[in-house]
Amino acid sequence: EEVGKALKDCFDEGVVRREDLFLTSKLWCSNYAPELVRPALEKQLKHLNVEYLDLFLMHWPVVKTPEGGFLSLEELPLSKTFEAMKECMDAGLVKNIGVSNFTTKKIKDIIDDTGITPAVNQVERHPNLQQPEL
């Protein structure tokens, strides 16, 4: 909410225009059930005081329950979450959708299941974690 207040102040004071910023946020793993995707996004938009995000990412290729447990990918395929994110994009709430920390295989599975290619795969990379296949 502090970031949203700062953004609103900057917009109101003419410091920066919304279209000059590229705002990215992530969908947490406990909101991967398709019916939770849009409410989670709308909450983020409200906290940021903006009408849309430029990029919305699935945070991690692991599905958690709202209570903190885990679901298998057979119980809730990542492609179902990605399809719900695409609906948010179609509604104008996000301009691009992507993933974070996904393997090549998991990205291929999403593309094969949905026909939608993620705009981004944000990955961790540093001297101790190279991940050259990504």
pLDDT in tens, 68-108: 899 999 999 999 999 999 999 999 999 999 999 999 999 99
**What confidence score (pLDDT) does residue 133 get?**
77
**What confidence score (pLDDT) does residue 95 get?**
99
Q: Tell me if 37 is assigned to some domain.
A: yes
**What confidence score (pLDDT) does residue 134 get?**
74
Rounded Cα gap, residues 29 and 133, in angstroms = 24
Q: What is the domain count for the chain?
A: 1
Give 6 or 133, the one with higher predicted confidence.
6
Among 116, 112, 67, 107, which residue's Cα sits nearest to residue 88? 116
**What confidence score (pLDDT) does residue 44 get?**
98
Q: Tell me if 12 is assigned to some domain.
A: no
Neighbouring residues of 80: CB distance < 8 A, sequence distance ≥ 6: 32, 34
CATH classification at residue 39 = 3.20.20.100
Q: Tell me if 14 is assigned to some domain.
A: no
> The pTM is what?
0.92
| Contact of 82 with 110, CB cutoff 8 Å | yes
Q: What is the mean pLDDT of residues 111-133?
A: 91
**What confidence score (pLDDT) does residue 18 get?**
97
